[in-house]
């Protein structure tokens, strides 16, 4: 163990990559699925309403998630949320392009 891996108390504080990336992948999958399903439902009312609600939701959550990225456990949720939003939006663009 090197000095970089031990904290001030001498305990092992190395990054748990396996667990963290597993949590991030799960959060990304759930977030992407939720964005796609909810956006498709709102798009049936009006497509611009779905776009506006997505932008408002992301704009409202962004400051909270930005603060969480410094917390050891929550940073994995932030990573998963960011990847999930991006994947959800890309899936929505693909669905819109294929149906239009």
Long-range contacts of 39-48 (CB under 8 A, 24+ apart): 39/88, 39/92, 40/92, 40/95, 47/96
Question: Using 50, 70 and 90 to split pLDDT, how confident is the model at 31?
Answer: very high
The whole-number pLDDT of residue 97 equals 92
Nearest to 75 by CA among 6, 23, 9, 11: 23
> Looking at residue 98, what DSSP letter applies?
H
pLDDT over 70 for what percent of the chain? 87
The whole-number pLDDT of residue 2 equals 53
Measure CA of the first residue to CA of the last residue in the chain; give whole Å: 57
The whole-number pLDDT of residue 7 equals 53
Q: Can you give the pTM of this predicted structure? A: 0.82
The whole-number pLDDT of residue 57 equals 93
The whole-number pLDDT of residue 99 equals 86
- Residue 13: pLDDT above 90? no
- Residue 43: pLDDT above 80? yes
């Amino acid at each position: 163990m090197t000095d970089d891996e031990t904290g001030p108390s001498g305990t092992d504080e190395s990054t748990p990559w396996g667990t963290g990336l597993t949590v991030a992948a799960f959060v990304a999958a759930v977030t992407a699925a939720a964005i796609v399903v909810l956006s498709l439902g709102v798009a049936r009312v009006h497509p611009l309403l779905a776009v506006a609600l997505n932008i408002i939701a992301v704009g409202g959550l962004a400051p909270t998630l930005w603060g969480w990225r410094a917390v050891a456990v929550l940073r994995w949720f932030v990573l998963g949320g960011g990847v999930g939003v991006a994947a959800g939006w890309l899936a929505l663009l693909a669905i819109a392009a294929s149906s239009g």
